[in-house]
Structure 1
Amino acid sequence: MIRTLGFLLAGVLLGTPAYADLDLTFPGPATQTFSETENFASYKLPVGPYADGFVQTLVAEGQQITRAWRVDVGVGTSLLVMDNLRQQLEASGFELLYECTTEVCGGFDFRFTTEVLPEPVMHVDLGDFRYLAAQRLGGAVPEYVSLFVSRGADSAFVQMVLVGSADGTNLNSKSGGNTAQVIPAAPRTKPGAVVEALIRDGHAVLDDLEFETGSSALGSGEFSSLSKLSEYLKSNPEIRIALVGHTDAEGSLQGNIALSRQRAQSVAARLVRDFGIPQRQIEAEGVGYLAPRASNLTDEGRTLNRRVEVIITSTQS
């Protein structure tokens, strides 16, 4: 059963500028498996986990665009695809409302009380899926999006539902090659401001970390970002995070994904060993060069792309 908050998140406002179209680039060859547009629909957008027999939802009304894709990502993970698409949504003005992973979402119960397309157009591995809900305000009407990502043997499966104005946004998508959409360079996060950025944006870059070239070993220095992050996690034991490693575009995809994952795991190990953070609060993954924050055509851009980010994945224990 789905529990719905008692208000509707849409309406028709006149004389307000429309949003720009939503253009997505997938981190690999993508095949669209489903496409449907309803001029007016009522969509129950999940904004919380399955708990006590319910999933908390908001009701969005307006034009509903439902799409699904199969993305060839080989060695990639569901996190790789979700991280890439999340960054593109945020670059387009969307703000996260809720995000969760398999167990925290509610597993089987969340999947089957949420509107998900059937096989074969959409596949959901009940042991490996990710979900997010986001909103974009300030246009003709509010826009809301839900995103499911899961894995198959060598492909990722993506479902997106976009609800907004019938005269507003179009949803466009295209395949990526070895590199994903390049997002304009973001300013470095000051180590002391990591928690502020994490609370505000749902993610932050740990910009003061140091790794030896080509190595996954974290330097021995005292990193302010980890100290601040550990204080926040100790004060909020219900928070779960993902550490996500990133590389520049030099070398093979498989090698870079392995290196980026190992670096994220090194950071997780430091938080557990030196700061006493419970392992259950942390997961570590790597996405290689598939989610750049700057151009890989310059030394400065490649330096910015070599990073570890922290992402809040849930506030549920």
Structure 2
Amino acid sequence: MKKLLIFFLSILLSIPTWAQRADKEGSKDHPLIQRLKQSSIFFYEETSFDLYTIITGASDGSQFSSTLDVEGKMVRIFYTLPTEAGSVYEIFSNYLNAFQNNGAEILFSCKNTSECGRYFWDILRDMDPKIQMPAYYGEELAYIAAKFSKDGMGYYVTVLPGYGLSEIGYEITVVEVKEMEQQINLGAVEKAMNENGKISLYGILFDIGSDVIQESSFAEIELIAQYLQKHPDKNVYVVGHTDNTGSYETNIGLSKRRAQSVKDALKSKFGIASSRMTAAGVGPVAPEALNTMEAGRKKNRRVEIVLNEF
């Protein structure tokens, strides 16, 4: 069996046309996601703005343990390919490796019932009637949900390979979302602290489900350090917030650990005395927006710096 090849974020790579069906008229690959060898486009749809639900947790037989709603420009492409060209597992592993090797965040991945959960395919089709893959492709299946950023845009991608009745194919959906713009400087920190006694920081980001601070976050952490250095008489609470994805207990614990990570960074990197900071986590109990949409959940996953005045 020939090994499938995938080239991610590639430009000007030719694709063999032999042994391929003709693509659907007017269709095209998404410019950032390359197709697999010998694939042809059976269905193509592009909408300027739509809502899409991404699976982020296995099914329990009646529902998914977690999902993520995103909205933006959406492209949905269903590819078919000859069965001798590969397998569901090869499609799954090629895309998963390509995403991981190019810095994408894997939101969820699974293959077959043992990992995806009971009735995964049936629940997915009920939830998303626009799926183009035939129902019988659920004989073998896999699923990947990933997210990456490029040029100020966030790209949420799902890959759904399936096999049934000696046919094989995979459906790729890409939702393009404008990233939240951060316009914060020391003056903005001063103003917020003077007027409200606190500031919400949306640019302090963590690895998913983790208290590990992402490197891009330290610009905002440094601004807080500058504020505390300028005002040595001020003490603060460092407060972690989460969205409501997952259990209450998990989110409370995660928000506390994230707050502690920020406190530790302020001390170790910028020399702020630990005695001036108190780390606290409130999980999902003080949202800024609805948790029913990703834009709201993104605002709720924040760190707040709150004046601790006696």
TM-score of the two chains, using structure 2 as the length reference:
0.42
Greater Rg, structure 1 or structure 2?
2
TM-score of the two chains, using structure 1 as the length reference:
0.41
Greater strand fraction, Structure 1 or Structure 2: 1
Q: Which has the higher contact order (CA 8 A, sep 6+)?
A: 1
